[in-house]
Amino acid sequence: FRMKIRGHCIFWAVEEEQPKWLLKADPMQLKGAMWRRLHDVLTRYKNRIRDWDVNNEMLHGSFYSDRMNETIRDWMYYEAHRIFPRGQMFVNEFEVLSAPWYTQSYVDQIRSFLKKGIPIDGIGVQGHFAGHAHPEILKERLDDLAVLGLPIWITELDVVAENDVKRAEVLEKIIRVAYAHPSVQGIVLWTFWDKHEWKKNTSLFEGHFFKPNEAGRRYLRMRNEWKTDIIDRQPDDVTSHDCVFRFRAFHGEHVIRIRLPDGSVLEQNVNIRNHPGELELVFNKQSPDIKDAPD
């Protein structure tokens, strides 16, 4: 599936979430443990994980800054970028999208980081919803975050609703608003299987065979709606050296396969951006991308 993995999380600002041994560390020991944590996870997974929540829930906790000082949060992001320059380092917070309590505080916090030159690459909003969502309000909150000019990810989306039809309706509203917003670049479901739920009544799939409930069926319909499947398409223009295809496609990762008259198939993975443009593919008969025609 070529599914990407997000790193969640390197640090967690909430004291109750720390390992017990860390609570006993003095500032020097704590700083050493933090450096080892950063170095270990970022170097180990640098070829597998690009996006990281560096210090989770800084509006709800201050474990590290209480024991050291406020600049320790700045250091986390600077050091993460130094170790893994290609990484995308996120902030991540809750009660920003699903509730109004921290939306403006989050904007103010991120803006203060950016003014100091701290390398924040993306905004994570968790998205734990309690059975209701209003599209207009969701859009307003996303608009408030979008003024910062950073990509937004819905990082932990779930909907608590005992009735799976209700869950499906709310989930669809949220996903459609997020997918339509120009600043939202990703949506991650937090719990989707009833055998491994963070909270009860949040699943989309049930049982050991992952049977979709109504929320799961609604999600799959949206996924299929936003896929581009063009089959047996003939070129729009043909010259002695080129073939031109013109079509509209949802942005994202695609596989393009071209069947030649001799039955062989040329295949290439492409990433289509969310704006109009031209994509030129050069195929070579000696290319390793040439595959035998499937049966």
Q: Do the beta carbons of residue 250 and residue 226 sit within 8 Å?
A: yes
Q: Do the beta carbons of residue 131 and residue 166 sit within 8 Å?
A: yes
Q: Is pLDDT of 294 > 90?
A: no
- pTM of the predicted model as reported, rounded to 2 decimal places: 0.86
Q: Is pLDDT of 292 > 60?
A: no
Fold of 6-226: TIM Barrel (3.20.20)
Q: What is the mean pLDDT of the chain?
A: 91
Q: Do the beta carbons of residue 180 and residue 173 sit within 8 Å?
A: no
Q: Do the beta carbons of residue 87 and residue 48 sit within 8 Å?
A: no
Helix (H, G, I), strand (E, B) or coil at 81: helix
Q: Is pLDDT of 206 > 70?
A: yes
> 182-194: per-residue pLDDT in tens?
999 999 999 899 9
Q: Do the beta carbons of residue 159 and residue 96 sit within 8 Å?
A: no
Please pick, among 16, 156, 172, 278, the residue that the annotation labels catalytic.
156
The secondary structure of 121-135 as a DSSP string is: -EEEE--EE-S---H
- Residue 185 CA from chain centroid, whole number: 7
Q: According to the model, what pLDDT value does residue 275 have? A: 72
> 257-277: per-residue pLDDT in tens?
888 778 888 888 888 877 777
The residue ranges of every structural domain in the chain are: 6-226, 237-292
Q: Residue 25 corresponds to which tokens in the numbers above?
A: 């560390």
156 is catalytic: yes
